[in-house]
């Protein structure tokens, strides 16, 4: 889904339904894109490597399929570095917050 309106942006920032929470392999649970953004600074390398590797990018999939932000999902789908992925998510959250006002 393209985020074109204030409503779209607000929806992308909201908590998802509980059945669509992102369960991190270390037991943490992410309810929305802001949770993901806030979790990156404390995410350990083995956890990141479990979810982002040459075979998959679980964060991009969750953002595409559940958050429905196809632009961000596409932007991060090939990213394999934690710092770069965290920066792109932070920038997008900032853009979404501005758009949702």
Query: Model confidence over 8-54: pLDDT tens digits?
Result: 999 999 999 999 999 999 999 999 999 999 999 999 999 999 999 99
d(C-alpha 52, C-alpha 82), whole Å: 9
pTM: 0.94
Residue 42 DSSP one-character state: G
β-bridge mates for residue 52, sequence order: 57
Q: Which of 91, 81, 99 is nearest to 33 (CA)?
A: 91
Number of separate domains in the chain: 1
Q: Is residue 84 part of a domain?
A: yes
Domain residues for 11?
A: 6-100
Greatest Cα pair distance in the chain: 37
Answer yes or no: is 1 within a domain.
no
φ, ψ of residue 79 in degrees (nearest 5)? -75, 130
The CA distance from 17 to 19, in Å, is 6
């Amino acid at each position: 889904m393209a985020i074109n309106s204030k409503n779209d942006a607000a929806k992308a920032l909201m908590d998802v339904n509980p059945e669509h929470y992102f369960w991190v392999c270390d037991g943490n649970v992410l309810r929305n894109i802001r949770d993901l953004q806030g979790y990156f600074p404390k995410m350990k390398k083995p956890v990141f490597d479990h979810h982002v590797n040459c075979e998959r990018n679980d964060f991009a999939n969750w953002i595409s399929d559940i958050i429905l932000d196809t632009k961000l999902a596409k932007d991060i789908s090939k990213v394999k570095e934690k710092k770069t992925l965290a920066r792109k998510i932070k920038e997008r959250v900032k853009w979404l917050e501005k758009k949702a006002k």
